[in-house]
Structure 1
């Protein structure tokens, strides 16, 4: 299933596949806020090989629903997806650095090989679904920072660990 837009050549190729295999391939290039939840709820993997992604919310949505992301390590994708480490079973998805087909292919193979071990795959899904992307924690940190800045502006004593945490 392809959701969203991108390179027009890839979109056209995907649309041809959808016409040829209508029961196996779905292409939805226009915004739809219900469809991703349905797709991610039934998907095992979400692929987002962006050249550039300043933030990205799709990977966060996919993790919430248990679709493990395979992303290019750029911008918000790099910030929000933790590359899976098989030694510790920590991580929320799979990342690749270089914007080329071989790097993408390598992470897809890595993900699909990991998928064979259902117990490990379930752990990655649990890790991903446990991520907290709400503003609550961020807002509390900003509140604390503003409180410290106000204290400093009022002539409060500067101490080097005032900005720790």
Structure 2
């Protein structure tokens, strides 16, 4: 696999989604959770999605229950929570694992492409973020402590770069 566009995922509604449909977009891929100290980052993620969406940017949220069981809900509960509490309009996908033997292939690729601190590949917690270029390759990895608004300059740089 050579880019995020080689993968597919399942939407929160249970439908298969080929990530190739996001080709030519700058993406911020985030493992999310509804009951985490970082959950308020949904607000900042939505603001980025709204601000840069018209320029070819999207946030993709991947709920994960691997960290402190902070995403215990069903797909319907996750969707309702994100919509009513944070007015999320960016795509959310079915709950996945990001670490271990059952880690989603997309996350295996992301972790290999952009290791964390000291070269670690494991995702350490919810709201780890991967910024992806228009060609589907990983530009940056950000830890949970990095607030969405702190990523704006990197997003702008990628949106300003030539396609392809």
> TM-score normalized by structure 1?
0.26
User: By percentage of residues, which structure has more helix?
Assistant: 1
Q: Based on CA coordinates, which of the two structures has the bigger radius of gyration?
A: 1
